[in-house]
């Protein structure tokens, strides 16, 4: 029940983020920079230590292709980062080539939304496989992922405008619940949870930093720093 409530919170984030018009303004909202800091803090303080545990799980597994790879948990994190970096380069190339003010090509939109729908489904799946007995840890995960979803939604709204408002956010909201539903029915092995967590960690790092680093965003370093340090402090108190 607790993981279902958490999944509903993540779903509600997609429904609400599009209504917060101030988040779409430039210079970048302090709240978005702070939200990015929270997500990055969660990755470095919580998910990366889980990757270390996942590394040990993979080394001890009988899955032979993984046994011959050193640091394969971290390689999966790199794969997550590279996959979304390649996707963003493709989207940026499309935007640079299309006329000013023209809508996104439908194929590009569906590719972009499809990738993030899969990403959300993985996050929902991992959510369903988290230990509901550790309620506080579940809260930290839900807060960090909700803020991360909000940052992603603002970026996708900027890229696809009306298409995202009419279709994209509903697809992302549904994909989170679908991922949770599959996770509730099909429980991942410890090896599977480690692999998916590693991939997600790399993707989160890329998706946050790609929004904070470009100069045209006029990002708020102070808010980003406050969000990352503040959330790190809370996580270390657990």
DSSP state of 224: H
How many CA atoms does the CB half-sphere of 28 hold within 13 Å?
25
Range 168-188 burial, b when 16+ CB lie within 10 A, else e: bbebbbebbbbbbbebbeeeb
Contacts of 86 (CB under 8 A, 6+ apart): none
User: What are the sequence ranges of the domains in the chain?
Assistant: 2-15+45-236
pTM score of the predicted model: 0.81
Q: Round to whole Å and give the CA distance between 147 and 125.
A: 18
Q: Per-residue confidence of the chain (238 residues) as pLDDT tens digits?
A: 788 888 899 999 888 766 655 555 555 667 777 888 888 888 888 777 777 776 676 666 655 555 555 557 788 888 999 999 998 888 888 777 766 655 667 788 899 999 999 999 999 998 888 766 678 888 888 888 888 888 888 888 888 878 888 888 899 999 999 999 998 888 877 777 878 888 888 898 888 877 766 555 566 778 888 888 888 888 887 6
């Amino acid at each position: 029940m607790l993981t279902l409530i958490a999944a509903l919170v993540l779903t509600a984030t997609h429904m609400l983020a599009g209504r917060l018009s101030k988040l779409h303004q430039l210079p970048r909202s302090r709240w978005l920079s702070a939200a990015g800091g929270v997500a990055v803090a969660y990755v470095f303080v919580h998910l990366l230590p889980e990757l270390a545990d996942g590394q040990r799980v993979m080394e001890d597994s009988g899955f032979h292709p993984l046994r011959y790879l050193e640091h394969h948990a971290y390689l999966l994190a790199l794969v997550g980062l590279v996959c979304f970096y390649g996707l963003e380069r493709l989207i940026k190339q499309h935007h640079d080539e299309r006329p000013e003010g023209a809508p996104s090509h439908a194929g590009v939109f569906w590719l972009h939304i499809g990738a993030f729908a899969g990403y959300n489904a993985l996050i929902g799946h991992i959510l369903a496989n988290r230990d509901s007995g550790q309620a506080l840890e579940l809260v930290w995960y839900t807060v960090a992922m909700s803020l991360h979803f909000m940052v992603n939604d603002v970026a996708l709204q900027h890229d696809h405008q009306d298409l995202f408002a009419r279709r994209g956010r509903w697809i992302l909201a549904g994909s989170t619940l679908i991922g949770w539903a599959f996770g509730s029915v099909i429980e991942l092995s410890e090896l599977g949870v480690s692999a998916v967590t590693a991939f997600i960690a790399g993707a989160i790092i890329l998706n946050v930093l790609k929004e904070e680093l470009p100069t045209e965003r006029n990002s708020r370093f102070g808010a980003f720093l406050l969000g990352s340090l503040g959330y790190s402090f809370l996580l270390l108190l657990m």
